[in-house]
Structure 1
């Protein structure tokens, strides 16, 4: 498991499973000859996308960023369609670290699409129950509203089995919310109407987790947004703001979906990588 220190805060990437999605959909209108130079693609035009939660240990708290694809949530057809070749090993990874499911204090849900939210629940005695019994689940009010009442486009990704059992644990917020000193969630919209990013800072050290408005290092160009984005111009606007801010103050950027990098820093131009944490493949 790869780790990164942001001041006194420790980040650890856990195994939440893997999907393989169409590269064209992941890069929207960007021509394949351009994006394929930045991110490997297989002979079916699919790219490997991790769904790996990040454990943040800060101020005596155990905090998860998103929850992976879970286990037993998908039938064979769904696994084929979403290119799922590996389900989550999240709980086992936490156990290796000496952390039980009851030791998680918060789960920061950047949004509630299935590949981020399936790990919130599990099936016991033919009923869905929370995986993390006492964790407060933080998401935007906008995202929570849509999760419960998806529209004709979003109902394929907002699943009842991912929210009904954890509803008493959910703590929605408007605008932005400080989780603990140095960790803040900010509602950006874009990928989904309720999408949020996470800012982590301790002293001079800063990290921005852009979630699915920058799912991999290859999406650093502010115009390279997903065909899956419900509001692509909102994604572009948010990326412009947070890339400018982060590059100017030397922030790390972390990734949930990247199969090659866990986190990295660019120079002020955003073109040269000056520090990196690669995934152990």
Structure 2
């Protein structure tokens, strides 16, 4: 497991499963000759996209950001369509770290699409139960409302199996919320109407987790947004705002879906990688 000590925060990336999704969908209107220079593609035009939660140990809290693909949540058709090659090892990873799922007290969910939220629940004796029964689950109120009442488009990714067992644990917020000192969630919209980003702040340094506004390092350009985005222009403007702030203030960028990097720090103009943590 890859780890990083961020002052008083110990960060560990857990293995949440891997999908291989259509590269064209992941880069939207960007022509393939451009994006394939930045991110490799296989013969089926698919790109590798891990879904690896971040485990944060901080001030006595056991925090998980994003929840991975879970285990045993997919039909054979879904495994084929989403190019799933491996499923979640989150529970095993936590045990290796000496932590039980019952000891997780905070879950941070940037949004609730299946590849982020399937790991919130698990099968136990033929019924679905919470994977982290003692945790408070933080998500924007907009996202939580759509999760429970999806529209004709979003019902393909907002599954009742991922919210019904954890309904009593959810803590919705509006606008922004400091969950604990140094960890802030901010509602951005864009990828989904309720999408949020996360800022980790310690001793004057910041890690920004832009979630699916910037799922990989190759999505740095504000105009390179996903065909999956429900509100692409909102994504563009939110990306531009936060990218400019992060670059000018020397933030780390943290990724959930990147097959190559856990974190990157770019030069102020965004053209060079000046520090990085590789995904091993």
Structure 2 residue 5 is matched with structure 1 residue 17: no
Rounded to whole Å, the distance in 1 between the matches of 2:264 and 2:199 is 15
Residue 56 of structure 1 corresponds to 56
- String of CA shifts for 1:123-154, please: whole Å, max 9, x gaps: 12221110101000000000000000000000
SS in 1 for 2:25: helix
Cα distance, 1:180 vs. partner?
Answer: 0.5
Task: Tell me the distance in 2 between the aligned counterparts of 1:5 and 1:249.
Answer: 20
**Aligned CA-pair RMSD:** 0.6
- The answer to whether residue 137 in structure 2 is matched with residue 137 in structure 1 is yes
Any idea what the Cα deviations from partners look like across 1:163-182, whole Å, max 9, x if unmatched?
00000000000000101100
**Deviations for 1:167-216, whole angstroms, at most 9, x for unmatched residues?**
00000000001011000000000000000000001012210000000000
- The residue number in structure 1 matching 2:266 is 266
1:232-263 alpha-carbon deviations (Å, 9 max, x no partner): 01011111111111111110000000011000
1:157 equivalent in structure 2 = 157
Q: For residues 41 and 10 of structure 2, what CA distance do their matches in structure 1 show?
A: 32
| SS in structure 2 at match of 1:16 | coil
In 2: Cα distance, 1:6 partner to 1:126 partner: 40
Flag structure 2 segments of 5+ consecutive residues without an equivalent.
none
State how far apart, in whole Å, the 2-side matches of 1:59 and 1:27 are.
Answer: 38
2: CA distance, partners of 1:188 / 1:137: 18
Aligned equivalent of 1:41: 41
1:218 is matched with 218
Q: Where does 1:246-261 land on structure 2 (aligned, <5 Å)? A: 246-261=246-261
- State the distance in 2 between where 1:122 and 1:186 align: 28
Partner of 1:231: 231
Q: Is the 8 A contact 1:63 1:108 kept in 2?
A: yes
Give, in angstroms, the shift of residue 6 of structure 1.
2.1
Output the CA distance in 2 between the equivalents of 1:274 and 1:262: 14
Kindly indicate whether the alpha-carbon contact (under 8 Å) linking 1:6 and 1:200 is maintained by their aligned counterparts in 2: no
Superposed displacement of residue 5, structure 1: 2.3
Give secondary structure in 2 for the equivalent of 1:194: coil
Task: Tell me the CA shift for residue 41 of structure 1.
Answer: 0.3
Following TM superposition, the consecutive aligned residue runs of length 4 or more in structure 1 with deviations greater than 2 angstroms are none
Distance 1:172 1:234 in 2: 21
TM-score by length of 2: 0.99
Residue matched to 2:79: 79
Q: Is the 8 A contact 1:7 1:205 kept in 2?
A: no
CA distance in 2, matches of 1:214, 1:266: 14
- The alignment of Structure 1 onto Structure 2 pairs a total of residues equal to 280
1:121 is matched with 121
**In 1, distance between residues paired with 2:59 and 2:198?**
16
What are the Cα deviations for residues 78-132 of structure 1, in whole angstroms up to 9, with x where unaligned?
0000000100000000000001001101110000000000001011222111010
Structure 1: how far apart are the matches of 2:255 and 2:231? Answer: 20
Q: SS in structure 1 opposite 2:237?
A: helix
The whole-number CA distance in structure 2 between the counterparts of 1:179 and 1:73 is 29
